Every structure is written in C-alpha cells, then in structure tokens.
Amino acid sequence: MLCFNSLAESDFHHELAASTGPVLVMFGAPGCGTCRKVEKLLPQAVAGLVTGLYKVDVQQSMGLARAYEVFHLPALFLFVDGRYHAAIESEVTAVKMQQALEQALAAPPQDEP
C-alpha cells in the first residue's frame, strides 16, 4: 500500500523532479480534520493509479502554499514524471479518484500555478 512522504520547501522541487510516473501531492495541515480523513482514505483510493503520495504541511511551508495558490484544504495536485500536470478536485473514493485521475491524465498538462 502507498504511504505519504512528507515534503517541505527545502526538498519539494528536488523530490518531485526525481519522481517517475503520476504522483499526488496533498497540501494539508495537522489541525485540519478533513485533511486527516483524506490522508487515511487516499492511499487505498489511488492504489495502482499513482506511483507515489506526498504531503505538504502548509503551516510549515507557507511559501509553497502561496505558490500553488492553495486556498482550501486539503488540496491535491497531480505531477507526472516530475512535472506539474493538474489540480485534482474529487471525492476521495476509489471510483471518483480513478475518474478524476484518468480525466486529468488524458488532458494536456496545465500550467503550473
């Protein structure tokens, strides 16, 4: 099963540049109840669809949150082969996440915020 790797401003770009395939990055906060819920559900919901899961604590990495225009938590972003691909807005169920990821991957990459 997938598990989350933490990212901070110091290693965010380096770690993602080294990733291969589709990976999801979740921006959240320890005090966010919805973030904790999504963090528990997401690994199973995206199993077999992504090669990695990362999380960013917005309280510790405010610069990244501003750069990615994070206005609500949790916020999910898809990266493919180390490059930004799309924001993902979906319920965190296996069916809904699969649909959202398939749609995002079928579309051309979006501009990074």
Instruction: Please check whether residue 94 lies inside any domain of the structure.
Output: yes
- In this structure, is residue 111 part of a structural domain? no
The pLDDT value given to residue 1: 76
Q: Which residues of the chain have pLDDT under 50?
A: none
Cα–Cα distance measured from residue 90 to residue 61, given in angstroms and rounded to the nearest whole number = 24
112 inside domain:
no
Provide Rg for the chain, Cα atoms: 13
Whether 85 is in a domain gets the answer yes
Domain carrying residue 29: 4-106
Alpha helices, DSSP H, located in the chain: 12-17, 33-45, 62-67, 94-106
Number of domain units in the chain: 1
The reply to whether 113 falls in a domain is no
Judge whether 89 lies within some domain.
yes
The answer to whether residue 16 is domain-embedded is: yes
Q: How is the beta sheet containing 52-57 ordered, strand by strand?
A: 4-7, 52-57, 22-28, 75-80, 83-88
pLDDT at 57: 98
In this predicted structure, what is the pLDDT of residue 90?
95
Instruction: Decide if 102 is inside a domain.
Output: yes
Can you give the pLDDT at residue 60?
Answer: 96
